[in-house]
Amino acid sequence: SAQDGATLRLEPTGMVTCISSVTEQGQGTEGIFAQIAASAVGVTLDRVRVITGDTGITPYGGGTWASRGAGIGGEAVLQAGRALRANILEVAARILKEDRAGLDIVGNEIVNRLTLESKLPLVELGRIAYFRPDTLPLKFQSELTVTRHYTPREYGFTFTNGIQACHVEVDVETGFVKLLRHWCVEDCGTVINPMLVDEQIRGGIVQGIGAALYEECLYSAEGQLLNGSLADYLVPMAAEMPDIVVAHVETPTRQSDLGAKGAGEAGTAGAPGVVMNAINDALRPFKARVTAQPFTPQRVLQALGKV
């Protein structure tokens, strides 16, 4: 599915609940959605609660895959947050008997847009809207739960861009490849949380390095998997990883107001190819090259004609 939805609700306590079908698996989705919702509505981050993964209450959507969390799910949160903000201000205008255009939401309170003078805490607005609606104008109905869906229209997806470089040292006697340093410059559009993006890129690069140098399913002649546990299946460890330098070029996509493209696959996609190119550059003086992953010491020595 190329669409996703988000529901935002102002609670009687003044809290904002954000409900999304995009799930959290450690990549920071809930933190990103909390930031987007807080900014869109006008509340502080600690006043936002994010619920993901409960298919009994979340809007229909595509879930988490294809780097679509921030790009599609985040845009739905933004649009729902903007709509909720507008509805809150409508309620505030009725309670205060003031022009809505002169009001704003800042720091969990309704304030004067020009002077920032506090007019009404959101917790009080929630109390009135939910428990004393009889005090509001007769034909006015407060709408403090909003659902919005977002689907990219021009294309069903958004491209990310990036480039990676890797510095390796190859021991031509043992075939061992030592990673010295790795660089990545990527463009995931609007960077919402720089620390989360950097670490997601680094994690993806490590996963790509694992595919390049370590990870392989080995089978016997009878088709029996020989390395089906982490005791036998090699994965990259922190001590084996190089310093990974991450930088950004921000080109927001014009398909959405948020401008995010996604970063989930950027690190993983580029790492195997750049590691292979670095190894082959080191092997060039020996007129050798590796082409089959993983680039194990045995395969390096085979390329050198030593085994």
**Sequence ranges of the chain with CATH classification 3.30.365.10:** 4-150, 161-303
For residue 22, which of 60, 63, 57 has the smallest C-alpha distance?
Answer: 63
Residue 204 to residue 199: CA distance in whole angstroms: 8
Residue 196 to residue 63: CA distance in whole angstroms: 19
Residue 307 pLDDT class (50, 70, 90 cuts): confident
Residue 264 to residue 166: CA distance in whole angstroms: 20
Using only the alpha carbons of the chain, give its radius of gyration.
26
| Percentage above 70 pLDDT, the chain | 96
- Summarised one tens digit per residue, pLDDT across range 56-89 is 888 877 767 666 667 778 889 999 999 999 999 9
Residue 255 pLDDT class (50, 70, 90 cuts): confident
The pLDDT, as a whole number, for residue 117 is 93
The pLDDT, as a whole number, for residue 254 is 83
Q: Kindly tell me the burial class for residue 231, based on how many C-beta atoms sit within 10 Å of its own C-beta (0-12, 13-18, 19 or more).
A: exposed
Amino acid residing at 253:
T
Pick the residue with more confidence: 22 or 301? 301
φ and ψ of 261, to 5 deg = -110, -25
Residue 190 pLDDT class (50, 70, 90 cuts): confident
User: CB under 8 Å to 157, separation ≥6 — which residues?
Assistant: 2, 66, 68
The pLDDT, as a whole number, for residue 184 is 95
Residue 292 to residue 281: CA distance in whole angstroms: 15
CA distances from 159 to 93, 118, 183, 250, 254 (A): 42, 44, 20, 13, 12
Residue 298 to residue 300: CA distance in whole angstroms: 5
Rounded to a whole number, what is the largest CA-CA distance in the chain? Answer: 89
Residue 50 pLDDT class (50, 70, 90 cuts): very high
Q: Is the pTM of this model over 0.95?
A: no
Has domain 4-150 been given CATH number 1.10.357.10?
A: no
CATH label, 161-303, candidates 3.40.50.10330, 3.30.70.2860, 3.90.550.10, 3.30.365.10: 3.30.365.10
Residue 5 pLDDT class (50, 70, 90 cuts): confident
pLDDT higher than threshold 80 for residue 264: no
Residue 109 to residue 235: CA distance in whole angstroms: 50
Q: Are strands 103-106 and 48-52 parallel, antiparallel or unpaired?
A: unpaired
